[in-house]
Every structure is written in structure tokens, then in C-alpha cells.
Structure 1
Amino acid sequence: MDTLPTVVMLLGASVVSVIVFRSVNLPPVLGYLLVGAVIGPHALNLVGGFAGAQHLAEFGVVFLMFSIGLEFSLPKLYAMKRIVFGLGLLQVLLTLAAVTGLVTALGLSWQEGVALGGALAMSSTAVLTKLLTERLELDKAHGREVMGVLLFQDIAVVPLLILIPAFSETPERMATMMGLAMLKAVVVLSVVLFFGQRLMSRWFFIVARGKSAELFMLNVLLITLGLAYLTELAGLSLALGAFVAGILISETQYRHHVEEDIKPFRDVLMGLFFVTIGMMLDVPLVAASAPLVLGVLAALLALKFALVLGLSRLFGSTFGGALRTGLWLCAGGEFGFVLLAEMRRLELLPSPVLQAVLAALVLSMLLAPLIVQYSNQIVLRFAASEWLMRSMQMTQLAAKAMNTEKHVVICGYGRTGQYLARFMEQEDVTYLALDLDPERIREATAAGENVIYGDAARHETLVAAGVARASVAIISFADARASERVLEHIRQIKPDLPVVVRTLDEKDLEALLRAGAAEIVPETLETSMVLASHALRHLGVPHAQVLEHFRQTRIDHYRALRGFFHGDSDLEQDTLDVEEARLHSVLLVDGAKAIGRTLGQLVLNELGVEVTAVRRRNIRALEPSAETRFSAGDVVVLLGTQSALTAAEERLLQG
């Protein structure tokens, strides 16, 4: 079968699977794996060109390693060195040792044990980082431990990709091959990093001076694939060269630009890679050896959980914190599949063992979000100290809030929260701030500021902070989903408490209003209004008139300012916010079905679209009435989501 039909088949199946898995809030990587298993040679066998697809998917690993290199930051490593090179290093080494010992006891070689140990030691950076961000736990103690261990695991993949090929050689040649591979790696890394650091910034400056997005993209691809090719010529892996390319670019000022440009290539090719991993899964063989698969899965979860729990305790965590870190890191990860694919290529493992481990990794990644979801309940069930610590926190918080009444509760003490607190102090208004960053709290309390450790998204924290006695609450962080959770708890405690909420733009206004916010401050709209006030003052418009205009705009919940016309520069954002309201202009050409009909007759509001203006012969009428009758040449300005706008335009033009 030709490569093109194969790739078309893979892409089509992948699109469907990602839609389904995103709809149920599961990682897309699991959808890719499932697609591969279903259409692969061991199941429906819909794709015959497995080798061609696998060759293309190798570039997915290249771009994944390039992205890891981009994230490689020496200052970041130094700041987290105790967790990364302490907890992370020991977790990988002890997992390698434990798996090697277990495998050799079962009759396999130590080489196979080390290779398997490397694959099983990995946890999912993509899944866990997303979950930490969504649950607002990046700054918590277990969040920092999880991120530090994940960072070391990402780094550990590089030497493992160098060592594993040597394991396929005879014992006599293996030591020589390993030594030679490591020597080559050191020489290549030293030369490239020493000379590359000096050349890369200058070269990117020359390329960026051309002010061509096409040229910049071509240059990124050239450096990534060029260095990958050089390391392959040196007898090393493509992935190592891509990792080095990422490191070089991470030290330049163009890092974030490169990261955005490379993301579409990386995600698409990584998707193809995971589909080919799923195609490796022999479903009948896995079903026949289900007890073995479940045994490997149970051993994987238990071993990594026990190791991380013990190591986290060794590094000073409480039992509850260590328990939580162990639960987060016990499942497998995507780099385990990368290493398994390398083992399969080298025929390093017997097929039944490879299939059992592959199936166990897939199942563990399916279980990971579920384990995380119930981690708090598990910790509170088994860690008495966690109850005590939480009780102490609530007691401290309640003691601090005990004598306060008619105060302001500030949820979040970042930059915005601190500015708010200073305004309150200047007006002699009592406030109590809640935050989850221990270092920030330590610094602020030392300076005498009224902030305490507490998660505002928890009901008991808000009760202890005296929300029932407060005059107003302010949510100062711009995470709409977290704000909705806080609003829900506040409604339960004190339904009539006015809550002022910060958000980035207008797309979350309706949801936050429904959740119970009294006032919402969208940063982009307020910034525009402040800019307008300064400009109008210089134009001589009376200040009182400007203030009245802005007051009415806020009363109407920014109705006149909502939506904006999207252009090519908004394309990247559009892919993320497909349901964000936007403005769209429709010209009523001769023959359009809306001509001669009134706005009320078209009932566009039933499609979820609002007509904000009608332009006729260069005269623009804002908020037209239902009796407005359309004529040929009118331009109708619509506000709605992309799908709703498409339906409304069709109704205006075609009926």
C-alpha cells in the first residue's frame, strides 16, 4: 500500500478519535493509541503501509525531543536542582534497578531489564502538566515535586536512547558500543554546544531581520532536522540531534517564537507516532494474556507509587504530600512508548513481553486522570496528618479572620491581588488575602501584609476566611473555570455577597454572570476604555461626559464593546477559542434572501447571533430595531460564535 493513502487513513481516523476523546476530557494521545490498535495489522488491518507510516512518525519523536530541548533551562534546573537531581534522579535509578532485578529473576537478561525499566520509569509530562494547570496545583508542594521529577525523566530519555541500541549487540561488543556511543555523544554535544551557543543568536538575528515568517519557519526546520541528521551520521539517534537543537535555541531570545511555530508540526507528527505505537498492539495476543497484562499494570502502579512515596518522604515531604506525589507519578508516560518503539525496532524483547508492557502502559495512562481525580480523597483517607494539617490551616485562617467583619476577601495574591490590597490599605479597608504560593506568603507576611495560605476554590477555606461576614469578595486571578468554582462556594455560604471577578476578555462574561458575579472586569475591555479616556481628554471631551459613558458601558456589561473582527493574526487563537464570540460583516448582494425582510422576521437570535449594526450608504446604525427592513447593498454586522455566524450568514443570503 502506498504511503499517501496510509497517511490519509491515519489522519482521518486520528481526527475522529481526538474529537471523541476531547469531548470526554481525556488526553488525545489515548485516542491516537486506540486508533492504531483498531486499524493496525493485528486488528482490522485497514492500513497496509505500516513501515511507511512508521518512518514518517519518527519525525514526531524528533520534534518532541526538540520541544523538550526548548524547555531545557539551566536557571530553571538550578532553581529546582534538589528535586530534579535528587528526587527525579533517584526515582529513575531505583525504578531501573527494581525492574532489572525483577526481570532477571524471571529469566530475562539484565539488558532487557534496564531497557524495560527505562520505559516504565517514565510518567506522562503532557497529561500531568495539563492536570496540574487545570487543578491550580502547580505551586503546591506535590506540584513542584511532580514537575521536578518529570523534568528529570525528560532529560533521562536522551542517555537511554543512546544506551538501548548497544543492548542489541553481543556481550563482547556491548561494552565497546556503549563506550563509543557515550564518547560520540560527549564529543558532539561539546562541539555543538560550545560553538553553537555563539553562532545561534547571530544566525537567528540575520534570519529574523528578513521579517519573513516563511524564512523563519524554514530556518527552524533546517536547524532541527540538520542537527538530527548530523547526530545520525555520527552513529547516534535523530532524537539526540533534535534535543541539542532545542537546547541551542532555548538560549536565544527567539525561543518562544520558535516554540509556537514548531507546535503544529510536533503535534501532528506526534499524533502519527502514537498511532503507529497503537498499531504495534496485538489485541488478540493481549486479550489472550490478560492476566499477564493486569499483573504488569498492577506491578507498575504499585512499584512507582511505593518508590516515589518513600523518596518524597526522604526529601522532607509530609506523609500526605508524599502520598499525593506518588499517586500522581505512578502511571506510565509517552516517553515509555518512545523507548518501547526503539526496543521493537531492535527486536530486544520477546513479543509477548513487549505486548504486555505496551498494553499496561496504555491502561495506566487511561487510569492516570482517574487516579489524580480521587487523589485528595485517598490522601485524606490514609493520611491522618493531612487532616491535622488542614485543620491547623483552617484554624490559623479562622483565627486571623475571627475579629474581622465587613472586610474584603481577596482570592489570589499575585500582582493584581497585591495592587488591590494596597488600594484597600490606603482607604483603611480591612482585607484578608488567600494564596497558595508559600514563598510569596512568607515574604508578604514578613512585611506585615494580611495574607495567609489557603485555596480559595475550597468551601472550608472560604468559610474560615469569614466570607459569611465579609462585605465583598474579589477574585483577582484570571482563570474563569476556577472563578466559577469559587463563586459556587460563595453562593452557598452567603448568596447576597457581591463578588468582583477579574477575567481576560469578554468571552467568559455570560458564564461568570450566571455563576453569580456582581461585577466582572475584563482586562482587554478596561484597558481599551482607559486608553480611550486619555485620548478623549486630549481631544477636549469633558471628563464628566467620558465617565458617564464608561459608567453606562459597565452597567450594560460592556455590551457595546463585545466582540472584535478576527484577522489572520488571530488564526492561532481562533483554533483554541472556537466558541468565542466575534464580529462578522455580511454584504447583502442582489438576490440575497434577507432583502425586503425585517430583522424581526429573520429571527437571527434563535441561532445565537446578535445584529450589532447595519451600514447603509455609509451611514452606520447601531443596535437596529426588529422593524429594520434590509435593502440591497446593506452591510449587516453580526456578533456570535463561528458556527452561529456561519448559520446566520446562510440565512441572510440563502434563506
Structure 2
Amino acid sequence: MPHDVDLIILLAVGFGLALIFGYIAARIRLPPLIGYLVAGIVISPNTPGIVGDIHLANQLAELGVMFLMFGVGMHFSLTDLMQVRRIALPGAVLQIAVATLLGIGVSMIWGWNFGSALVFGLSLSCASTVVLLKALGDRGLINSVNGKIAVGWLLVEDLVMVLVLVLLPATAVLLGGTAISGSDPNANIWMTLAVTLLKVAGFIAFMLIVGKRLVPWIMQIVARLGSRELFTLTVVAAAVSIAFGAYKVFGVSMALGAFFAGMVVKESDFSHRAEEETLPLREIFSILFFVSVGMLFDPMILVQQPWHVLAVVAIIMVGKTIAAMALVLFFRYPINTALTVGASLAQIGEFSFILATLGVSLHLLSLEGQNLILAGALISITLNSFVFSAIEPVQNWIRERSHLARLLERSGDPLSMLPDEVSQEYLRDQVVIVGHGEVGRRITKALMKQDIKVVIAEENREIVESLRDKGIAAVSGRATEAGVLIQAHIQHARLLVLSPMDILDIHKIVDIAKTLNPQIQVLVCAESKEEAEVIRRENIGQVYFAKEEMAINMTNHILNQIQIAHHQAPTH
């Protein structure tokens, strides 16, 4: 009895090759995503050898898109975005506009129509969340100010791309493409757009009013049963059913549905558990998505259109990067922040693939355009780690040329100097606190309650502005730069308190502080036991390690309770 085993063959060969090429990519310090794309290229109809079923791959890719968007929704943090909103919101929107215009300009020179050029330009404007988080994580930058700006910037890009995915099918006919299946091609375009926006608004309202309460409630009920597989099934069912319901009931894209499903699951008290237990499944379908994208790629584009490919890579890695850096510097952030954000965005990824596939299905984008986008993604992701490695040498090169550094870092920044209202009398025997994260905030609050004078040195300009609005003395900049500590009047300070940060930065800051004020006392909050031991061994300052302090406090509390109980016990 014959069996249809096309799906099994696709999965077996696809996963096997993805494992092999993903492993090779990881060994040579590239994102495994590159390996998954290469695996797809190997079993593509465009290359000799094993050929996978492209139609089955496309269906699996749809599931992959849903789970990717579900993951984006679960990672979306409005709090993180609000912390860097003044740079991330305008910066991301302007950078998308610049990259899109570059893509439109180049493709129209090639003779493409405006609709194709627009989809092409938008596809080149959005960076990959997967690649960015891995690059920042490998360098320990996710929780740094630079990392938060880059992630916030990408969150805005993601939101813009979600909006594009919703609006593109409604405007396809106007742009020269074809209407989506089941819609009237002769319908008024503005009426179609208005109806689409109303449906989107209806879906968002439903999710915020009903979904936000219903999904966490169902998760809570299932969690009480203590069944791990039922809980995982609940989360997966929520992701898939909300995505399908969004498409079937509200007529919006399944990608938008999955994105909001991720957002409402994040609202649950069990969000961390949901993320942890669905991660393997989400990663499996993400791998299938990247394999299927690789199957669509025709490597001959590299031979047939080398100059076109080079132009695409230049837009992604030069045009986008320079635009992002210029915007960061315009907002008066230092060169290091500009270089980090620029490097973070010097690639494209999953949203570009999703947008290109949608463009082809709407007959807005040709297969040539899709292949150019895929080629640009492969090359830019491959080279992204080298771009990150170049940050420090480029920064040193700029710093060595003081005239160039002064030109790039705008002088006269009011936040880099303490306000005139801060008296010279205040700036004696003060406590200088570097970093205003969770630790810095708690220390500042406690000291100010005791009327102890405090000056904050913080990289995030928005935090500095907020502190000044509250009447707290604060200066903007990296404390590894002597000028920042000088502005905080470290030479007259009694104490220097360092929030958790990289050990190399701790060394630099303490060296500068002790050069300017040899008598200053240093207190350091260590991130790990190993770091605490290094600080003690090198006699950098008094060190505090969270778990160690917690154990000491709990032990003291236990001993106090035992002593109280002993004194209260009746004597015989």
C-alpha cells in the first residue's frame, strides 16, 4: 500500500541539513540562521540534488510566520520602548524612511514600477530581531543603554512592519498588484483601505477588551491542573486559533493575529512559563520557515546580477547604518552608541522575508526582487558579526582624531553638564552614583530620604531629563569618559557607587575617579560571584553581591528571630 511521504521526506531532509549547516555556521561564529537558509538552498528546485516539495514548504512557512510573530509579540515590551522612546520612535521611523527611499530610488533606476520599488525598499529597511538579540547577547550588551536603544529601535521597526503587512493587501491594486483572493478587484481602493483599518481596529479592540482577560484566565485554569503538556497545548492553541480567527472573522493577516496573541499571553502571570515551554516548538517552526525561505532563493542571482546584489548590500550595510548613526548623533548620544545602533541595524531578516513573500503573492514584487532581498539578507547577516567587531577600532580611530570626534559629538550639550542651579556648596562631600537602574534608583531614593547629597551619572539621556525634572542633580554620558566624572565633581565627592556593569568599565571608572580624588571610597555592586571575587582580590573597592547580601540578611533575620523566641520562652 503506497504512502504519501512527501511531508516526512521534507522534514527529515530539511531538519537534517539544517542541523549540519546550522552547526557549521555556529562553529565559524555565524548565526545558525545562515545554516538554515543554506539548507533550504540545497533542497531548492533552483539547485541540483534533492528537491523538497515547495508547496508543502510554503504551508509550513505560514506556521513558521505565525510562531515568529507570536514570539515577537511575547518579547514586545512597552516599558522598554518607553525608556528610549525619544530616540527610538523618531529614529526608527526616519531610518525606515531613508532606507525605503534608497531602495525605491535604486530599483526605479533599474526600471521597476513604483509598487515593486516600494515593497523592495520596505523589505530592506527592517533589521532581524533574531540576529540583533544574538549579537547583543554574545557581547553582553542587551541590558546596556546602547542595547536598550537598539532593541527599542527594533521594536518600533517591528510595529511599522506589522502595520505594513496589514495595509499592503488592501493597497495592492492601487500599487499595481492584484487583489487578495476573495476580494473585489473593482472595489474603491479608499473604501477597501477604510474597511481594512476598521477591521484592524475592531480586532485590536477585541483583543484588548476580551482577549487580554480571556487568554490569561484560561491559562490560569489549565495551570492549576499541573499538567505541563496541557499548559503548552493551551499556549499553542491560543497562538494558532487567535491568528486564524483574526484572518477568518476580522479579515486581517494571521501575522497580526499571532503578534497580538503573543502580547496577551505576555500579560498573563504565567508568561515566563509559557515562553519557556513553547520555545522549542517556536524554534522548530522558525527553522522550517528559514529553510522554506532558502528553498525560494535562486543562487544564480549572484552570477546574473552581481551589481544589483552589491547595491542591495550597500543600502543595507552602508545606507541604513549611516542614517541610523547620524540620527543617534543628532540626538546627542555618544559615538559608541551611534556605532552600536548602526551595527545592530546593518542587516535584514525575517520581516524582510515575510514582506517579500507577501509582495510576490500580490504580484507586486518579481521573483528577481525576492532573490535580491534574500541575497542581501544572507550576505548582511553573514557580515554582521564583523561589523560589530569593527566598533571598537573605528571608535578608537575617531577618538585619535579629536577634530573629527568634536564634529561628530555635538558640543554644548546641556545634559552633559550639571545645571547652573546646582550650587558649589552642594558639590562637596556628595555621593556620585554611576547608573540609575534598579540598584541605583533604590540607593538614590534611600540617600535622598536622609538628605544626603547625590549626583547621578547616567548614559540614558531620557533618564537624566526625568531626574532633572524631579530636581535631582544628574549628568548624561558614559562614566568611562573622564569628562563625565569631572562634571559630577568627583574630585570633591565622598563616595563613588557603581551599579552592576562590565568589569572592564569598573576598572576604567575607578582609575579615573582615584586619579581625580585619591581619597574617594568606592562601593561596587557585582553581577556575579566571580566578579565579586575579582574586585576583592584587586582591591578595587567595597563589593556587594546580591545573593551574598540576601543570604547575610536572611541569616541575620533568622538569628534575631531565634534570639527573640529564646528570650520569650518561659523559664523553669
TM-score, length basis structure 2: 0.73
Report SS of the residue matched to 2:315.
Answer: helix
Equivalent runs, 1:169-188 vs 2, <5 Å? 169=178, 174=185, 176=187, 180=192, 183=195, 186-187=198-199
Q: In the alignment, which of 222, 225, 249 is matched to residue 237 of structure 2?
A: 222
- Is the contact between residue 133 and residue 142 of structure 2 (CA under 8 Å) also seen in structure 1? no
Question: Structure 2 matches for 1:56-75, cutoff 5 A?
Answer: 56-71=60-75
Of 93, 107, 111, the match for 1:107 = 111
Q: State how far apart, in whole Å, the 2-side matches of 1:466 and 1:396 are.
A: 9
357-366 vs 375-384, which moves further: 375-384
After TM superposition, the structure 1 stretch with the greater mean CA deviation from structure 2, 338-347 or 301-310, is 301-310
Query: Do 1:308 and 1:322's aligned partners in 2 also have CA atoms closer than 8 Å?
Result: no
SS in 2 for 1:283: coil
CA RMSD of aligned residues (A): 5.0
- 2:370 alignment partner, one of 351, 354, 369: 354
C-alpha distance in 1 between matches for 2:385 and 2:423: 36
Is the CA contact (8 Å cut-off) linking 1:331 and 1:364 kept in structure 2? yes
Equivalents in 1 of 2:385, 2:425: separation in Å?
A: 38
How do residues 412-431 of structure 1 correspond to structure 2 at under 5 angstroms? 412-417=435-440, 419-420=442-443
Name 2:475's counterpart in structure 1: 452
Larger Rg: 1
1:260 is matched by which residue type in structure 2? E
Amino acid across the alignment from 1:176: A
1:226 partner amino acid: S
- Find the residue that maps to 1:364 and give its secondary structure: helix
Please say if residues 229 and 241 of structure 1, whose CA atoms lie closer than 8 Å, have aligned partners that are also in contact.
yes
1:506 partnered with 2:529 = yes
Q: 1:486 corresponds to which residue?
A: 506
Q: CA 1:532 to 1:189, structure 2 compared with 1: closer, same or farther past 3 Å?
A: same
1:123 maps onto 2:146 in alignment: no
Alignment partners' CA distance in 1, 2:318 and 2:225: 55
Q: Which has the higher contact order (CA 8 A, sep 6+)?
A: 2
After superposition, the Cα gap between the structure-2 partners of 1:358 and 1:429, relative to the gap in structure 1 and judged at 3 Å, is: same
Match of 1:653 in 2: none
- What is the rounded CA distance, in whole Å, between the counterparts of 1:149 and 1:476 in structure 2? 25
The within-5 A match list for 1:531-550 is: 531-540=554-563
Give the counterpart of 1:264 among 277, 280, 290.
280
Distance 2:445 2:81 in 1: 34
**Structure 1 residue aligned with 2:202:** 190
Partner of 1:238: 254
**1:384 aligned onto 2:406:** yes
Distance 2:29 2:153 in 1: 25
1:154 to 136, 154, 158: 158
1-side partners of 2:497 and 2:195: how far apart? Answer: 58
Amino acid at match of 1:297: V
Q: Rate the CA distance shift 1:433–1:320 in 2: closer, same or farther, 3 A.
A: closer
Q: Which residue of 1 aligns with 2:354?
A: 338
Q: 2:307 aligns with which of 278, 281, 291?
A: 291
Query: Aligned runs of 1:613-628 on 2, under 5 Å?
Result: none
Task: State the alpha-carbon separation in 2 of the partners of residues 100 and 252 from structure 1.
Answer: 42
Contact 1:401 1:465 in 2 (8 A): no
Deviation at 1:527, TM superposition (A): 1.1
Amino acid of the structure 2 residue aligned with 1:196: G
Tell me what 1:525 maps to. Answer: 548
Asked whether 1:434 is paired with 2:454, we answer no
Alpha-carbon separation, structure 1, partners of 2:439 and 2:240: 43
Take 2:429 and 2:77, find their aligned partners in 1: how far apart are those partners? 46
Cα separation, 1, equivalents of 2:508 and 2:89: 41
Report the residue type matching 1:117 in the other structure: G
1:206 deviates by 3.3
- Name the counterpart of 2:320: 304
CA–CA separation in structure 1 for the residues paired with 2:257 and 2:359: 20
SS in 1 for 2:187: helix
SS of the aligned residue for 1:176 comes to coil
CA contact (8 A) 2:108 2:117 kept: yes
Contact 1:409 1:433 in 2 (8 A): yes
> Residues 103-152 of structure 1, C-alpha deviation per residue, up to 9 Å, x if partnerless?
34432222212221221121233444565675658775x77765554233
1:32 and 2:43 aligned: no
* 1:539 match: secondary structure: helix
The offset of 1:180, in angstroms, is 4.6
Cα 1:402–1:71, aligned 2, differ >3 Å: closer, same or farther? same
Change (3 A) 1:433 1:107: closer
Cα separation, 2, equivalents of 1:72 and 1:531:
35
Q: Judging changes above 3 Å, is the alpha-carbon distance between structure 1 residues 59 and 507 closer, same or farther for their aligned structure 2 residues?
A: farther
CA contact under 8 A between 1:83 and 1:145: conserved in structure 2? yes
User: What is the deviation of 1:37?
Assistant: 3.8
| CA distance in 2 between partners of 1:448 and 1:170 (Å) | 57
With 130-139 and 40-49 compared, the bigger mean Cα shift is at: 130-139
Describe the shift of the 1:21–1:469 C-alpha distance in structure 2 as closer, same or farther (beyond 3 A): farther
- Equivalent residue runs for 1:550-569 within 5 Å: none
Unmatched tracts of structure 2, length 5 or more: 567-572
Shift of 1:360: 1.6
User: Does structure 2 retain, via aligned residues, the 8 Å contact 1:475–1:483?
Assistant: no
What are the Cα deviations for residues 528-552 of structure 1, in whole angstroms up to 9, with x where unaligned? 2321222133334999xxxxxxxxx
Structure 1 CA distance, aligned partners of 2:22 and 2:490?
Answer: 42
Amino acid at match of 1:48: G
State the shift of 1:289 in Å: 2.8
Whether the aligned pair in 1 keeps the contact of 2:235 and 2:265 (CA below 8 Å) is: no
Classify the secondary structure of the residue corresponding to 2:475: strand
Is the Cα–Cα contact under 8 Å of residues 116 and 366 in structure 2 kept in the other structure?
A: no
Q: 1:102: Cα distance to partner? A: 4.2
Superposition deviation, residue 62 in structure 1: 0.5
Distance 1:456 1:256 in 2: 34
Instruction: Summarize deviations over 1:60-92 as a string: whole Å, max 9, x none.
Output: 210121233345567777787766665544544
Letter in 2 for 1:210: L
CA offset at residue 221 of structure 1?
Answer: 1.2
Q: How does 1:51-90 map to 2 (within 5 A)?
A: 51-71=55-75, 86-90=90-94
Evaluate the alpha carbon distance shift between residue 170 and residue 73 of structure 1 in structure 2; reply closer, same or farther with a 3 A threshold: closer
Say how many residue pairs are matched.
537
* Aligned equivalents of 1:402, 1:108: Cα separation in 2: 67
Q: Is the 8 A contact 2:84 2:152 kept in 1?
A: yes
Q: CA 1:307/1:525 → structure 2, altered by over 3 Å: closer, same or farther?
A: closer
- CA displacement at 1:229 relative to structure 2: 2.2
The answer to whether the 8 Å contact 2:86/2:462 transfers is: no
Spell out, residue by residue over 1:591-636, the C-alpha distance to the aligned partner (whole angstroms, 9 max, x if none).
xxxxxxxxxxxxxxxxxxxxxxxxxxxxxxxxxxxxxxxxxxxxxx
**Cα distance 1:318–1:214, how it changes in 2: closer, same or farther (>3 A)?**
closer
Corresponding residue to 1:476 among 499, 504, 512: 499
Structure 2 CA distance for partners of 1:369 and 1:403, relative to 1, 3 Å: farther
